[in-house]
C-alpha cells in the first residue's frame, strides 16, 4: 500500500471516530426512544471511502473505526451492533454504487446504506437477545433511515464536490 493511501485511510479512520463522538452530542434516541437511532455521520466516511478509494480500503477504515469507537465509548454490545450494521451497510452501498449515476444518486445509496445499517443492528440484537422481540423497533428505525440517509448522502455529495477542486487523488 502506498504511503499516501495509508495516510489517507488513517485520516479517514480518525475522522470517522471523531464523527462518532460528535454525534453523541445529538442524542436522537432521547427524541425517538429506540436503541440505535443516531445520525450516522460516520457513514459519510464509509461512503466517501467507497467512492474515492476501494471497497478494501473502505472495509479497513470501517473495521478500525468500529473497533476504536467501541473501545473509546462503547460496550461489547455496541461493538457487536456497529459491526453488523456497518458491514451490511458497506455491502449494500458497495453494490448500489455500481448503479449510481444511472439508476440512482448518492442520496439513494446513502438511504439504502442507512436502512441496511439498521437491519444489521437488529440482526445483531436478535442474536444477542436470543429473541425476536427487538424486531419491533425496526419499522421506526427504517422510517428514520430515510431522512437521516438523505442528510448523510447530501453531506458526502457536498464533500466530494469540494474535493474535486483540489488535487487529492491517490
Partner 1 sequence: MRSRLKWGDFVIIGVVLALAAALTAVLAAGTTGDRLYAEVWQDNQLVERVALTDGTDRTIDLDGHNVIVLSGKSARMESADCRDQVCVRTGTLTRAGQVAVCLPNRVVLKIVGETGEIDAIVS
Q: Are 39 and 28 in contact (CB under 8 A)?
A: yes
In the structure grid, which three cell numbers stand for residue 100, read together? 449510481
Q: Which one, of 22, 21, 43, 39, lies nearest residue 30 by Cα? A: 39
Shortest Å, Cβ 27 to partner 1: 10
The residue from 1, 5, 26, 105 that contacts partner 1 (CB under 8 A) is: 105
Secondary structure letter of residue 139 according to DSSP: H
Tell me, residue by residue from 118 to 137, as one string, x for binding to partner 1 by CB under 8 A and - for no binding.
Answer: -------x--xxxx-xxxxx
**Residue 1 binds to partner 1 (criterion: CB under 8 A):** no
Q: How far apart are CA 43 and CA 46, in angstroms?
A: 5
Q: How far apart are CA 38 and CA 71, in angstroms?
A: 18
**Whose Cβ is closer to partner 1: residue 5's or residue 162's?**
162
Residues that bind partner 1 (CB under 8 A): 29-30, 33-35, 75, 77, 96, 99-108, 111-112, 115, 125, 128-131, 133-140, 142-143, 145-146, 153-154, 157-158, 160-161
Amino acid at each position: 500500500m502506498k504511503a499516501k493511501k495509508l495516510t489517507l485511510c488513517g485520516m479517514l479512520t480518525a475522522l470517522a471516530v471523531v464523527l462518532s463522538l460528535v454525534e453523541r452530542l445529538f442524542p436522537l434516541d432521547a427524541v425517538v426512544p429506540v436503541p440505535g437511532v443516531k445520525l450516522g455521520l460516520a457513514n459519510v466516511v464509509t461512503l466517501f471511502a467507497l467512492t474515492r478509494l476501494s471497497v478494501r480500503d473502505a472495509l479497513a477504515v470501517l473495521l478500525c473505526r468500529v473497533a476504536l469507537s467501541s473501545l473509546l465509548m462503547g460496550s461489547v454490545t455496541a461493538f457487536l451492533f456497529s459491526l453488523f450494521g456497518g458491514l451490511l451497510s458497506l455491502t449494500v452501498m458497495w453494490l448500489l454504487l455500481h448503479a449510481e449515476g444511472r439508476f440512482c444518486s448518492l442520496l439513494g445509496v446513502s438511504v439504502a446504506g442507512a436502512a441496511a445499517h439498521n437491519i444489521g443492528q437488529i440482526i445483531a440484537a436478535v442474536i444477542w437477545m436470543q429473541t425476536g422481540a427487538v424486531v419491533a423497533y425496526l419499522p421506526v428505525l427504517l422510517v428514520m433511515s430515510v431522512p437521516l440517509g438523505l442528510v448523510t448522502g447530501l453531506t458526502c455529495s457536498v464533500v466530494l464536490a469540494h474535493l474535486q477542486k483540489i488535487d487529492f487523488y491517490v
